[in-house]
Structure 1
């Protein structure tokens, strides 16, 4: 687990779209395979000892190299077989709001839709402020790019997950999650062209920021202790909190308020991936609203149905001009088939027209006109 100072900065929006995800995977695999990934992780892994359960070896060159090798091998295995996901910006905002209410919990393998995945977000999933000057890796060395403030705001733009058992030490196995930021965001903050050019050459468009591994456990005292530890560190200073945001995304994907569809990889990129021996499966898109169709039903994707109807009118006749989820909350749901309790997001329905702006789970202040006066009420 790695600790940071919580963020109070503004959110910036990554520039990725669903069609970018396969190319992002290919670039990362190239970066991991040509030595740049190893050099990066070997230099940045000062806390490798703590991550591997030996804090006394933090900063030891041998431990840093061993950790870098492990991370590169882990991410290469994950990315090669990963299912590809893209979460729209509107859905990401809903995830952030829902994650704020989600209790920390110890996941198990059944909480992941696929064994390995790469998920890219249309808006920052997590934001944190790092209390240090912007250090970037150029030509295998840390380079200080002077700027006005002794901190930088980091936006997590993508995550991966894959099986991990700590070299056989975890009896029931576990999961390894990696968190990435957008290189373009880093480039925009740099002041020196030489550093900017070096960063662009030394990194793929997704730049690793941190990792988190957690083991699967049977019910019992050890799991209860880990649960308490996660609850105590449930703030942006800990990567376990970032992992909770990923888990909130995966939990919400199972809920009826979330719309999913697939998008094929572009033909030219598909051929490039085939030549590289990489998967060419469709991209899974997670959205907060249904797709709107302008074509005839025979042209629609298999399994999808157009959504119709304006649910924006209340029984009182007052027109709702925004779209929002009603009464969202987490419930500790029992799943008999798995024999576990898991947080389940309870959401009865959407309100508002399908094409209206989405308002996230917060109060909406509505101005109402009264015959005698104007009053402000809560919607």
Structure 2
């Protein structure tokens, strides 16, 4: 994979400029851009939404998720069991999160499905999390410019692309909005089997093949939140460059300039000792790779189960031969 187009250290400046644009009531500001092309009632709603998200962005904590953790969130999202989201699962009530790698593809089965989603904003309001997904502006412009002949959408001229760039001056472009309810299973999880541990990755991919890009992004987001509550990740603070900090101070002196950079703690495949349980007393003569899977863990304080991710690990007695060593090489290169 190449270098990410957007990085953690850019995120504070991106947030500051985006919040200012969403509060700009000029003809080229965010409210006018979001409202363009809608009927009067929807346009008024989108104008109000732009101002609301400007406020939420100013209160947001900033997160950047490393490439390896992004890939884990996407793959684990395929296997995510039915789950009722709780407010305490979120790392912050308001957030702007950037994935170092897109969580959706540009193409699927040789059909254009849209530009890749690389970021998400959220805000807790009432009994739900309000979510907006975002793509990088240049990816979005390239996607819009090429058109879709099969869908009857013509290619844009150079002048039309320049006009779009002027109307969307920020690094991120909003793709969609949705809500994730607290205490209820999201619709896209309600059809997921409770136990996915016995399903192969091919079966999981077949199960989610019909899911749209917003669902794929929301799965990755929920998994990212859940992983951030586990010990297999670590965080470090990254500050914006000094030049960006000066620019941010001119836009809004009250904005923070630090980003929580989230990454996996372990790159290898740890061995997990056999403890008491269904396997106790069995005399295994080999070691084998247990692929990553979700496990329901009971939380007495909540009075409910919460899924935790069990990463790939080696199981079996020390010194025993490893079954299918090729799988170990594949996992270590993941």
Counterpart residue number, 2:317: none
1:37 alignment counterpart: 30
Q: Secondary structure at the match of 1:105?
A: coil
Larger RCO (CA within 8 A; separation ≥ 6): 2
**Structure 2 gap segments, 5+ residues each:** 146-155, 193-207, 272-288, 315-325
Deviation at 1:339, TM superposition (A): 2.8
Whether the 8 Å CA contact 1:177–1:211 is kept in 2: the answer is yes
> Following the alignment from structure 1 to structure 2, what is the Cα–Cα distance between the partners of residues 155 and 163?
25
Look up the match of 1:123.
101
2:44 aligned partner: 66
- 8 Å CA contact retained: 1:257, 1:349: no
Are 1:188 and 2:142 matched, yes or no? yes
Q: Deviations over 1:150-205 (max 9, x none)?
A: 8453211100111123xxxxxxx221011000111123343632122222211111
> 2:77 aligns to what SS in structure 1?
helix
Map 1:327-342 onto structure 2 (within 5 A): 327-342=291-306
> Aligned pair 1:266/2:241, yes or no?
yes
Out of 245, 258, 262, which is 1:282 matched to? Answer: 258
CA distance in 2: counterparts of 1:12 and 1:63, whole angstroms: 43
Tell me by how many angstroms 1:311 deviates. Answer: 8.0
Extract unaligned runs of 5+ from structure 1. Answer: 1-10, 46-60, 132-148, 166-172, 218-222, 291-306, 314-324, 351-362, 368-378
2:128 to 161, 171, 174: 174
CA contact (8 A) 1:120 1:157 kept: yes
Deviation at 1:107, TM superposition (A): 1.2
Question: CA distance change for structure 1 residues 130 and 183 in 2, over 3 Å: closer, same or farther?
Answer: farther
Distance 1:95 1:229, change over 3 A: closer
SS at match of 1:76: helix
State the partner residue of 2:62: 84
Could you tell me how far 1:229 is from its partner in structure 2?
A: 6.0
Report deviation, 1:21: 0.5
The range that moved more, 186-195 or 110-119, is: 186-195
Q: Which residue of 2 aligns with 1:213?
A: 179
**Contact 1:124–1:155 (CA under 8 A) maintained in structure 2:** yes
Comparing both structures, which one devotes a greater share of its residues to helix? 2
Query: How far apart in 2 are the matches of 1:31 and 1:259?
Result: 33
Deviation at 1:44, TM superposition (A): 6.0
Residue 12 (structure 2) pairs with residue 22 (structure 1): yes
How many residues are treated as equivalent by the alignment?
272
CA RMSD of superposed structures (Å): 3.5
State the Cα deviation string for residues 339-362 of structure 1 (Å, max 9, x = none).
Answer: 332211123769xxxxxxxxxxxx
